[in-house]
Amino acid sequence: MAKFFQRKYYKNMINKVEIDLNAIAHNVQVFKKKIDSETKIIGVVKANAYGHGLLETARAIWTAGADILATFSLDEAVALRVGKIRAPIIALGPVEPSEFRRLIDFDITATVFDFETAYKLSREAARQNKWARVDLKIDTGMNRFGFSTGEFIENYKKIASLEHVKITGLHSHFADARDKDFSQGQLMQMQNILFHFQQNKINPPLVHMAATRATLDYPESHFDAIRVGLGIYGYSDSQNEDGDFQAVLELTSQIAQIKMIGKGQPVGYQRTFIAKNSAKIAVIPFGYSDGYFRSLSNKADVLIDGKRARIVGLVCMNVLMADVTGIKCAAGDEVVLIGERGSDKVDAVELAKLAGTNPHEILSRINPLLPREYHFK
C-alpha cells in the first residue's frame, strides 16, 4: 500500500483525514461513463479540494482522467502550478488587477464577468507580449457572478476584439438543479446564446454548465464539458444516482479518556445533556475548530467498535463527548467521525441533514491543518 503525508510538521496524529485515491479514480470513471466520449471533465478542487487537501487530490483527479482543473482563487491555482501540475486550470473567482501578471505568468485561465476586467487583463498581457486566456461567465438565474444574458453577446464581441486576450470558454451555473422547471429555463437561456452564435457563424469556445446533479439529471446540459466537484468526492443528491460513487474521505479520532457518571450528572458546557441513568462517556479530542459542527451537539453519532455512539453535550472548540454505555472501548480506541466500519457508516450527507447544511460544507470545513493521509485501498 502506497502512503504519503501532507503537512508532516503537524504533530497530532490522533485526528486525521484519510483519502482513498482509488475512490477518486473510480468516481472520475463513473462520470466518464455518463457523458459522451468527446465531452471533457472539469474537476473542481476549490476550498482545499472540498477539504480533501488541494495538491495531492488535484493531482489524483487529473491523473484519473479529468481534462481541466478548476479552483476558486488564483492562490489555489498557483499552488497547483508550484506543485508541478500542468493541467489547464480555471480560476472561477475574481482576480484583482494587481494579480494579473501572476495569472499570466502561471498560465491560469481567468473567469471574467465584466468588460473592464477583460480590458485591463488585455493591457497587462500586451505589456508582457503574451496572451491571457479567459472564460466568460453568464448569469442565467443564479444572480451571482456573470454577464446578464441580455448584455452577453455585445460584451462577447467586444472582448473577442481585444488584443492579447483569447476566449477559451464560457459557462453558467445552475441555481437549483432540483427544480426541473427553473433549470430548464436556465438551459434555454444558454441554448439561445448558442443559437445566436450559430446564426452569426461564430464558433463558440468550450461551453460548460453542469455540476454533479445536473450532469446526472439533465444530459442536455453537458455541452462541451461538465464541471463537477461533489461527485468526484463520492456524494450526490440526485435521484438518478444509483450508488455508483464511492466516498473518498474518512475522518477519525481517538478516545482520550473514559468517564463514568451517575444519574442526573451533566455533560459539557451549559449542561445541555443530563444523564437519565448512570452512563459511560468517551472524551474525544475533536471539536468545532477541527471542523465538527457545533450544531451536531446531542444529535450526531460516531462509530466506536463498529457501533453508533451519540454525541452528548455541546461540541467544544477542541473536544466532543459521546455516550458509549454498553460499548466495549477504552482510551486510545479509534473513533470514526466520517466513514464506515462493519455494516454501518456515518457520511457527510447524514451529518449535513442533522446540521441543516449540505455535504459540501461538512467536507470543506475540515481543518486544513489536520494531517491528510493518501493511499490506495
Do residue 301 and residue 361 come from a single domain?
yes
Do residue 207 and residue 74 come from a single domain?
yes
- pLDDT tens track for 282-316: 999 999 999 999 999 999 999 999 999 999 999 99
- Residue 156 is a catalytic residue: no
Do residue 213 and residue 322 come from a single domain?
no
The answer to the question of residue 9 being in a domain is: no
The answer to the question of residue 8 being in a domain is: no
Do residue 75 and residue 202 come from a single domain?
yes
- The predicted pLDDT at position 3 comes to 42
The answer to the question of residue 241 being in a domain is: no
- The predicted pLDDT at position 12 comes to 53
Do residue 269 and residue 182 come from a single domain?
no
Do residue 227 and residue 267 come from a single domain?
no
Residue type at 64 in one-letter notation: A
- Which CATH number belongs to the domain containing residue 357 in this structure? 2.40.37.10
Do residue 203 and residue 256 come from a single domain?
no
Do residue 174 and residue 307 come from a single domain?
no
Q: Of the residues 130, 180, 263, 269, which is catalytic? A: 269
pLDDT band of residue 198 (cuts 50, 70, 90) is very high
**pLDDT of 69 above 50:** yes
pLDDT band of residue 6 (cuts 50, 70, 90) is very low
Q: For the chain, how many structural domains are there in total?
A: 2
Q: Over the chain, what is the mean pLDDT?
A: 94
- The predicted pLDDT at position 4 comes to 40
Residue that is last in its domain, among 201, 233, 265 = 233
Do residue 276 and residue 343 come from a single domain?
yes
- Distance from C-alpha of 20 to C-alpha of 373, rounded to nearest angstrom: 9
**pLDDT of 9 above 70:** no
Do residue 209 and residue 292 come from a single domain?
no
**pLDDT of 5 above 60:** no
Residue that is last in its domain, among 233, 267, 294 = 233
Q: Of the residues 40, 46, 233, 288, which is catalytic? A: 46
The answer to the question of residue 146 being in a domain is: yes
- pLDDT tens track for 358-377: 999 999 999 999 999 999 87
pLDDT band of residue 240 (cuts 50, 70, 90) is low
The answer to the question of residue 160 being in a domain is: yes
Domain containing 42: what range? 35-233
The answer to the question of residue 74 being in a domain is: yes
Q: Is the dihedral of CA 10, 13, 17, 19 positive or negative?
A: positive
Q: Report residue 173 as a C-alpha cell.
A: 451555473
- pLDDT tens track for 37-46: 999 999 999 9
pLDDT band of residue 321 (cuts 50, 70, 90) is very high
Residue that is last in its domain, among 200, 233, 266 = 233
- Which CATH number belongs to the domain containing residue 113 in this structure? 3.20.20.10
- pLDDT tens track for 210-233: 999 999 999 999 999 999 999 999
Q: Is the dihedral of CA 206, 209, 211, 217 positive or negative?
A: negative
- Distance from C-alpha of 216 to C-alpha of 31, rounded to nearest angstrom: 9
- pLDDT tens track for 131-190: 999 999 999 999 999 999 999 999 999 999 999 999 999 999 999 999 999 999 999 999
The answer to the question of residue 338 being in a domain is: yes
The answer to the question of residue 2 being in a domain is: no
Do residue 318 and residue 267 come from a single domain?
yes
- The predicted pLDDT at position 242 comes to 65
pLDDT band of residue 269 (cuts 50, 70, 90) is very high
- Residue 299 is a catalytic residue: no
- The predicted pLDDT at position 243 comes to 74
Do residue 174 and residue 267 come from a single domain?
no
